[in-house]
Chain A
Amino acid sequence: MTDTTGRRWHDMGGQEAGPVPMEGHDFALWEKRVDALMVLCSGKGHFTVDGLRRALEDMGEDAFEKHSYYERWIAAINQNLVEAGIYTLEELGMRMDEIARRGESYAEAQDD
C-alpha cells in the first residue's frame, strides 16, 4: 500500500506511466445503480466522499489493477454502510448467498 518513501499507491501525480489507453465503454445498468447508490447514500449522510475514498485507498493497489471502477466503488459503499450500521455483514452475506441461487445472470438475479 505504501512504498518506502511514504507515498501511497493512489497518489499518482508525477509517477512514470505509459501511453493513455483511449478505449472506453458506456456504463452497464448495475454500474449506474452503484453510482446512484453512492450519490443517494452520501446525500442522506450515511457516508462522505472522503469515507469512500478512504475505503478505496485502503483496498490497495491490487484492487485498482484487478477490479473495475464500479466493482471497487460498490465495495467502498458497502464498507461505509457497514461502518455506519445500516446493515450487518451477516445480513449482507446471507443476501448475497440467496441472490446467487436466483439465477445465472444479473437480470435473473433481480428480486422482481
Chain B
Amino acid sequence: MAHDHHEHGLSPSGHPYRSDNDGPLTYWQRMEIAVRELLIEKGQLTPAEITAQIDAMDARSPANGATVVARAWTDPAFKSRLLENAAEASREMGFDIGPLHLIAVENTQDVHNLIVCTLCSCYPRNLLGLPPDWYKTRAYRSRAVIEPRKLLREFGVDLPASVTVRVHDSTADMRYIVLPARPEGTKHMSEADLAALVTRDSMIGTGLPRRP
C-alpha cells in the first residue's frame, strides 16, 4: 500500500524523518519550552524523566504488535488469552504498555475489523507507538463508521460482500488491535518470519498482512 513504506531513509513509523531544530522558532515551540522549564523548576518533572519517556515512546512500534500477532498465529492457547484480554497477553510477552486496556478483534474468512476513533484519535499507542497521521484526519474519522468499504478500497483493501465489516469506534477507555488472519502458504514459517508479514495497517484493519 502506498502509505506502508519500508524503504531505507524512513523512520520506523514509515515516514521521512523531519528536521526540527533549524526552522524559525514558533509560538507553540516557545510554549513547549516554557511549560517544560516551568515544570522542571517547580520540581514537577526532571529532564531525565522527559528523556526516558521519549525513549520509551520511541521504542514502541508496530513491530511490538507484529510479535504479538505472530505468537497468536502459532500458539492457540496464547491466541485465546489474547482474545480474552489483549492487554494481559501483551504484558505476558514483556511489553510495557502501562495502564492500557486493550481488546483484540479477530479477522476471519467472514469478518473484517476496522479501528477508528471518531471523537479524537485514540490509538493503542502503548503497544504500536504513535498513530499514523491519516488516522487523525477528519476524513478517516468521519468516514470509517459510514462507508468503511469505500474507505478500505482507498487503502487497497477490496472486501467481498460475503465478509462482514465490523468497525470499532474507540469512544472511551478501551483501545483496539486487529488480529489479522494468517496468510495462506505460511504453514512452515517461523514466528519471527511471520511477524515480518504483519504490517501496522493490518493491525488497524486498513491493510492485510503481506504474503510470504
Residue numbers of A with Cβ under 8 A of B are 10-37, 39-41, 44, 46, 53, 56, 64, 67-71, 74-75, 77-78, 81, 86-87, 91-92, 95-96, 99-100, 103-111
Specify which of B26, B38, B54, B116 is in contact with A95 (CB 8 Å cutoff). Answer: B38
Count how many pairs of residues, one from A and one from B, have CB atoms less than 8 Å apart in the complex.
189
Q: Which residues of B contact A16 (CB under 8 A)?
A: 142
Interface pairs (25), CB distance under 8 Å? A11-B119, A12-B119, A13-B169, A14-B118, A15-B142, A17-B142, A20-B139, A21-B134, A23-B133, A25-B133, A26-B17, A31-B20, A32-B54, A33-B32, A36-B53, A37-B35, A37-B50, A40-B50, A56-B120, A67-B28, A74-B31, A86-B42, A92-B34, A105-B22, A109-B29
Say if the beta carbon of B44 comes within 8 Å of chain A. yes
What 10 A-B pairs have minimum CB-CB distances, sorted nearest first? A28-B20, A13-B118, A107-B21, A24-B133, A36-B53, A17-B142, A95-B34, A26-B11, A71-B28, A15-B142
B28 with A70: CB separation less than 8 A? yes
Taking residues whose C-beta sits less than 8 angstroms from the other chain, chain B's interface range is 35 or more
By a beta-carbon cutoff of 8 Å, the part of chain B in contact with chain A is 2-3, 10-11, 13-39, 42, 44-45, 49-50, 53-54, 57-58, 116, 118-121, 130, 132-134, 136-146, 151, 154-155, 169
